[in-house]
Structure 1
């Protein structure tokens, strides 16, 4: 058989392959795949939970705060004016006494004897005067009957006048002795509290040596000062509130008594004195105190919780919920802090009605953050 040509052989091989492929079953269809999900829209910032409240409208009287030291209205270091031995101390430290109460006594032995001696001299002088007056009366009767001369009558009158003078001198000496005796007793010149007493008795006391210190506590005086602008409208008689920051004592019945019409050269401030009533002794002499004094006329303002106030560059602000429920920071001017609240006025115009303040701004609160009201 003649050899096959190469082209024919290739054709036959291709036909055989095609028959084998036709005899195989078709491949299974590919499983259907779910369409890919569309990308989710980007989520916005979460709302910030906050307590919201309407600010309270108030009438506010501008005030100025001043500090100073409470002084006793009267305070005296008492001493005796005579020398002697301290015999008795009649009071104790911290005791409240009335005016005229006995505080201390010196030994009165010698002084009492001097009084008795002076009183005896008065009695003798009075007796001498009685004799002189009787002699004058008899002499004048005899003179009328021409039984005594004019010279005798003149002498009798002179004796009577001399006896009267001796009596006056004796009485003066007796009074002096009684005064000297009284100086051995130290008494309270006014009602108050004893703050200092001698350590013991039996000591020799010299005139002018301090024995007892007495202060009044029913009314104290707060000595303070203000700047010239702060004192410009302050007048005596203005009612002020005074408090002791250390112990919380407070009264609204204190009264301005002195506004010195001159500036202290050392401090360039105006001295002011305030009378502080202290009937129950809550206020302590020499304690540090604070006074809230009026300054100017009343004005409209808002009261908000103190935590609502935040520091801003150059001042203060509060966070509020805008009409769209998003946070806005509004600048305000702080007028006063009153315990857990603050009194403020808006800067740059009035606030719209229905404004709500964030009473407890969360940390990191930013302009435009959505606010979610927290109930309760």
Structure 2
């Protein structure tokens, strides 16, 4: 009795289970996109054209654009100093004046004699005009006047050696003399350097000689300013190759308006050889396979379908790579989400990374949107 009465209940339970399963299947069939696979979310970057070059590194030493040491040419006492340590001076500015009292006295005497002989020449000329004097007297007076004028020029030249002036605009070094000191010929009085532009001398192996020419751009760095990069260009290339080192000397010019660079500094030089416009992508988009390189291109005209494409790479630099063949400017390539990307899949594009928007910013923005969508549902509960 008990066994026969339980059969209707078993059939009833089975019928309910089949009905529930049928309802779930029907709901799954009518759910939007249930039959379609969920799209892989990716972040892309656009292929751009950028200036590119092949780097060549070297070590160089800085020199002032113009540099000199001012020395005395006479034995005399320093009467006046018109400069201080590290002062900027202009061309022609008086820097040092030596005692010149004796020369000044000689100059005044010679100038007085010149005036006398000018008067004598004038009288001789007037007498000759009235036939009261001879031509020889006039010529003698002219010769005597020229003689005293030559003496004046000689004295003025000696006076000029008592005054040391700046030959060009520049910066004074340390002052090692004082007023009243006795100086002698050849004694170094001060240094003067022109630093608004500095020269950078370095050597390059002769195999790169064909790539060197005046105007070639370069960048330079120094340990004194580790976060700074200084731009310049080649000014001249040496006319000879060192037979021992097989290298050629190169001189570059670097602007230095802020006077940060000093003569004698060691700098690391990077020459920008073969400057050109190149297709550039982040190095992280590449998928290496042996000696070949692939990447995923997003076909925007086919509902963001992925295409695995082989490319030929050129030179590399920090975080970037040159694409020689296989891509066109403006195409979209997958940068984030490569692990789950498959050829032929259609992807959900979270954003496009560029100079203004990073991958991290796109990811953080996506998380923020997910949190915003989840918050109302939690409130309803």
TM-score (norm 1): 0.64
Deviation at 1:128, TM superposition (A): 2.1
Among candidates 276, 287, 293, match of residue 254 of structure 2: 276
Separation (CA, whole Å) in 2 of partners of 1:182 and 1:197 = 21
More helix by share: 2
> Does 2:54 align with 1:62?
yes
How many angstroms apart in 2 are the aligned matches of 1:198 and 1:345? 56
Give the corresponding residue for 2:320.
343
Aligned residues: 281
Residue equivalent to 1:288: 266
Match of 1:130 among 122, 131, 143: 122
- The alignment partner of 1:249 has SS state of strand
Tell me the CA shift for residue 357 of structure 1. 6.6
Larger fraction in strand? 2
In structure 2, C-alpha distance between the alignment counterparts of 1:96 and 1:266, rounded to whole Å: 42
Question: In 2, distance between residues paired with 1:125 and 1:358?
Answer: 101
Q: 1:238 matched to which residue of 2?
A: 216
Deviation at 1:190, TM superposition (A): 0.3
Contact 1:103 1:212 in 2 (8 A): no
Larger radius of gyration: 1
Contact 1:55–1:304 under 8 Å retained in 2: no
Q: Which runs of 5+ in 2 are unaligned?
A: 1-41, 297-312, 339-358, 365-381
User: How far did 1:181 drift?
Assistant: 1.1
TM-score by length of 2: 0.63
Q: 1:297 to 1:135 in 2, by over 3 A?
A: closer
Partner of 1:185: 163
- Consecutive unaligned residues in structure 1, runs of 5 or more: 1-51, 142-152, 310-314, 322-331, 360-372
Superposition pairs of residues 320-359 of structure 1, within 5 angstroms: 335-337=316-318, 342-344=319-321, 356=335
Secondary structure of the 2:242 match is coil
Aligned pairs for 1:5-44 (under 5 A) are none
What does residue range 293-308 of structure 1 map to in structure 2 within 5 Å?
Answer: 293-296=271-274, 298=276, 299-304=278-283
Establish whether residue 265 from structure 1 lines up as the match of residue 240 from structure 2: no
CA distance in 1, matches of 2:192, 2:259: 15
